[in-house]
Amino acid sequence: MRFLARRLLLLVAVLLAVTFCGFSAMNLLGDPLTNVVGVLAELDCDAIAAGTAPDTTVDAASSDCDTVAAARAQYHLDRAVPMRYLLWLGDLAIGDFGTSFQNDQPVSAVLREKLPETLLLLVMAQIVSLGIAVPWGVIAAYKANRAFDRGSTVASFGLLSVPNFALGVILLYLLALRWQIFPSAYESGDFTSRLFSLILPALTLGLPLAASYQRLLRTDLITTLQEDYVHMARAKGLPPMRIMFRHALRPSMFSVVTVFGVSTGTLIGGSLIVERIFGIPGIGREIVTAVVRDDFPVVLAIVMVVAIAFVVLNFLVDLLYSWLDPRVRTS
């Protein structure tokens, strides 16, 4: 219980730090008013209101000035940045993420629309990579320093050194265009067709991750296989694969689980590119356009979602540690 409370506190602290930094950066780099209203920000509305502006612009500008004033009010742009941040936080507390600059959509609607696709992609990528890495690592450790293991070392370094966009294009060419096993682009529609069309992107994201998991698991397994209790299990006459999966695997998962926890950030970075290659309407694509246009309500909301995901996932990882090793529970 205290553990949980500490974690929640940590979550709040992380969110505050992340959003404050993000908010400040988005507000200080470039003029937010320009980002909201574009060229209208150049208007000298004070002069127009005071009637001192050149006559020619007055008629057209008075309605524009209303727009500018509305924007200032909506985004609290007449306040200092720390105050703006507090007001933004206040809105957030009542569930108001603000409105996107780009299309006047509420940010919550953007999230609701784009987030599920990205989440699905990330979950599939993790499942794919673990599903590949565990058997791969087990066999490599079992056949340590023999032909299979040497080959798989080369293969995993290969996968780790190919950048996402290249791997995506290679997979796309082979599996979608040449052998036509998977669709080449995202397909909206029912859940199964979405799922099916996300396999290729998930492989693109998951294969390099599988390679790094495999390296870690192999090394840890080789160490575990030297343990007395593995010899004991062999002396009990248990077959090798049973020993691998029932005795050696669990105590060898620590590094994999740790990297699993911190890989989310990398995966989201990777999904920016992958979503573009495969045309997936996820937040990865959204955040790129939002950053370019300084659409800070959208950027901040996405940053927050990522931070929450990160903290929650690492909380789960801590729970996993104690499941993996009962000694963690008592200490």
Partner 1 sequence: MLSVRDLQVRFATERGTVNAVNGVSFDLHEGKTLAIVGESGSGKSVTAKTLMNLLPRSAHVSGEVTFNGQDVRALAAAGTKHFFGVQMAMVFQDPMTSLNPVKKVGEQIAETLRYHLGRSRSEALSEAQNLLTTVGTPEPERRISQYPHELSGGLRQRVVIAMALACQPRLLIADEPTTAVDVTVQKHLLDMLDELRRERGMALILITHDLGVAHGRADDVAVMYAGRLVEVAAAETLFEDMRHPYTEALLRSIPRINDPAHQRLDPIPGNPPELIDPPDACSFAPRCDYAHADCLDGVPELSGQLGQHRFACLHPTGGEDSISSNRDTPRSGRD
Measured CA to CA, the distance from residue 99 to residue 91 in angstroms comes to 11
Q: How far is the CB of 135 from partner 1 (least distance, A)?
A: 20
Q: How far is the CB of 318 from partner 1 (least distance, A)?
A: 16
Residue 106 dihedral angles phi and psi, to the nearest 5°: -65, 140
Q: How far is the CB of 273 from partner 1 (least distance, A)?
A: 39
Q: Which is nearer to partner 1, 63 or 331 (CB)?
A: 331
Among positions 232, 241, 262, 316, the unique one binding partner 1 when judged by CB under 8 A: 232
Q: Report DSSP state, residue 250.
A: G
Among positions 238, 291, 308, 309, the unique one binding partner 1 when judged by CB under 8 A: 238
Among positions 135, 183, 251, 269, the unique one binding partner 1 when judged by CB under 8 A: 251
Q: Which is nearer to partner 1, 253 or 280 (CB)?
A: 253
Query: Considering only CA atoms, which of 307, 312, 316, 285 is closest in space to residue 117?
Result: 285
Among positions 12, 246, 289, 312, the unique one binding partner 1 when judged by CB under 8 A: 246
Instruction: Draw the binding track, 173-212, toward partner 1 (x: CB under 8 A; -: no contact).
Output: ----------------------------------------
Q: How many CB atoms lie within 10 A of CB 131?
A: 12
Measured CA to CA, the distance from residue 298 to residue 294 in angstroms comes to 9
Query: Taking contact as CB under 8 A, which single stretch among the options 8-16, 133-141, 224-232, 259-267 is the one that binds partner 1?
Result: 224-232
Q: How many CB atoms lie within 10 A of CB 143?
A: 14
Residue 123 interacts with partner 1 (CB under 8 A)?
no
Q: Report DSSP state, residue 186.
A: -
Q: By CB under 8 A, what part of segment 286-325 binds partner 1?
A: 324-325
303-309 CB contacts, 8 Å cutoff, 24+ apart: 303/18, 303/19, 303/22, 304/15, 304/18, 304/19, 305/111, 305/115, 306/264, 306/265, 306/268, 307/14, 307/15, 307/18, 307/19, 308/11, 308/15, 309/264
Total residues in contact with partner 1, by rule CB under 8 A: 22
Residue 247 interacts with partner 1 (CB under 8 A)?
yes
- The H or E element that residue 237 is part of is none
Residues in touch with partner 1 (CB under 8 A)? 227-229, 231-239, 242, 246-247, 250-251, 324-327, 330
